[in-house]
Structure 1
Amino acid sequence: MHHRASLSILSLTLLLGACQQPSPHAPQDHLDVLLNLPHLGTQGLPYAPGGTGVREVKVSVLDAQGQIVRFNANRDADPQGQQTYFVLTPGVSQLKLSLVRGVPYTFVSRAYDQGVTNPARTLLAFGRIEQSFTASGQTLALPLKSVLGTGSRLTSLPLNMVVPGQEVEYVLNVSANGHSELRVPQDDLQVTYDVQNGVDVGTADPKRGVVVRAATQATGDLQVTARVTGLVPSGQDDATEGQVTVTARVPFAAQVGVGSDLSAPSIQRFELLARLGEQVTVRGTAQDNLGVVEARIYSGPRLLRQLTPSDFTGTDFSVTVTGVRPGEQTLTLLVKDAAGNEMTADLNVPAGDSADTTAPVVTALTVSPNPLRTAGPVTLSAQASDDVGVSAVAF
């Protein structure tokens, strides 16, 4: 009887000892971590005037072996969990997870123009960061960097030819992956320029563009190449460091020097689209045998707007001018070519707002969270456009 009692006490001791040893993934080894995407809702991602291009961001967590970490319904790291990624939006840009203390994790963020499960999605931004945690309540800022697109442009004012010795201003517009209308923020890229038959004057911000002086004697075209370094797509869902090349080429005017061009630019069109108070929207067409290098809009002696290369599509432009005084006014368009020849055209702007019969267009309306399951704050966002301008948005 005494022998049996000793065995029972020994078994009980071993059992209690086993209960006191925590498992590698016991709850007491977990700690809460707040993941934050600070760029969402700000201009830190590919954007278009009036709205952002990113709709959803997929966040995945990898372990030290590069395997996907699973999570249970409570967002605890759990090998038996069913959740393998999380979705953030401009309205919900924070995420709280429970992770194992001291384990090195890799956090991968992928920002898309569509829902993360949409087969037609395009990767607009990508980020990757490694981190381990030793205390609860720590916050990790998830990095996101725009993915460069092949639709980037290097443009000058409409230019058919270049005169030897002429200075030409080029504007660089770097677009996002798959979206020529979305711009990449300057912080997400680096730029260098190669110039053939000319020199970089060095007076411009390279991320905005370049000013080039054409050679006084040339055997070929003036060619400017922008080499943009940043993230480039690597498949549908990944990106890697790479380069996008953008080239602009203009031929030299044969045997033509500054001052020997006697042909002034021509203005085929300069007309009013709409007036709203001190804002006037106009469009026009201007061209020259060597190319228009400068275009301005005046009201009397006051310069209202200096047109830039981005205002032109070929020889056409459509812009909104601000600062037009009340009452009937006359606007003057002045265009100049490389030889200094000028041409002007006047436009009468009646007093009062013009009738606008074209309704605005809403291209996107989103609600976050969606679906709404419990009472709480709701974020509504919309993208709206109009031929004259959107003055207000109401829900």
Structure 2
Amino acid sequence: MNPNRIVLAAGGTGGHIYPALSLAKILIDRGHEILILTDLRGINFDIESPLWEVRYVQAANPSRPGFFSKCNAVAKLFLGFLSARKALKTFNPDVVIGFGGYPSLAPIMAAFFEKIPVVLHEQNAVLGRANRLLARKAKAIAKSFDKTIGVGFYKRKLATTGNPVREEIIRVRSTPVPVIKLTEPICILVLGGSLGARILSDVVPHAISLLPKQLKQRIKVNQQCRLEDIERVRCSYDENNLSAEIKTFFDNVPSLLQNSHIVISRSGASTIAELAIAGRPSILIPYRFAMDNHQYENAMALSLAGAAWCIEESTLTPEILAKRLELILEDNQIHAEAAGAAHSFGIPDAAERLADLVEKLSSENPRSIFSSQDAISENDETALFQRKAVSP
């Protein structure tokens, strides 16, 4: 295929940036030129690379309360639109891919203005607000879940690609899930999202202390938590003679995931994708203030597949969590079936599927061929993704 120029527009948080970077690497390997547009928060995610160009656009959240906050957001989005349009004119892309988040609004609106075809990628089980505003004019919408709330009006535009993850996570998929044995440690990984989660610091140590003695003494915990919670969480584990490593950030999550019997976590899109691709069972505690309750919908998708257990914050107590852990960790069949369901749920070639979709649109030169109502049919999607499954 002839090389194309492709722009990736993503909000500057891990949930948006990491899928974009995974796709960028695949597209670079296929010989394409890449420009990434994001806001300044993207600097925190090692986004700079000699392999592609990065430009930063101004952005602000228009959903923040207050008249002046909204005016400031509109002004910054307009400035972002101007700088994004200038970047697009200079780079002259064949297609633009939007990964959601309010910083993607300006680049995608600029692409519409310049009549550049747009693909939207939705990481969550609910169509995000930015993507919702942009969906009508997009040529295709790539979704990560088979069932995604809010895409009903765009059925002919849909393609299920999955959510791209890091190569290190994909490698975990080929490793066997640790088997629970009576004489060996049981590893529990606790993740609270990019900033940690106070409720997990409050509940998890207490819950593990309530486990039966013969089970509790074999538990080994790796827990991420907020800086202000580290000392009290460590003390809680020490008081109960429990083995635990407590950090604000783990830079070896793929390794920890590989060795974990079960994960207790929030249910952001990237977390769900990584758990499923790695094939690890989980107990999910959705963040109750997540926009449009998308973390709950993400968690329920994995739960209904038999790969996880969802406990809402409003019902989470140490006693409930302890009972759930005991049920899973003392029954190898339950544990193994959940691991298998997670493995089946995962889409390890998500980046390749998304790259195929992008190449399909750009090779057909949709700038001149497609009208705003054109879309990908179900037959197109089937043909596009009839590829050999990645080996487990």
The TM-score, its normalising length taken from structure 1, stands at: 0.25
Relative contact order higher in (CA < 8 Å, ≥ 6 apart): 2
The TM-score, its normalising length taken from structure 2, stands at: 0.25
Point out the structure with the larger helix share.
2
Point out the structure with the larger strand share.
1
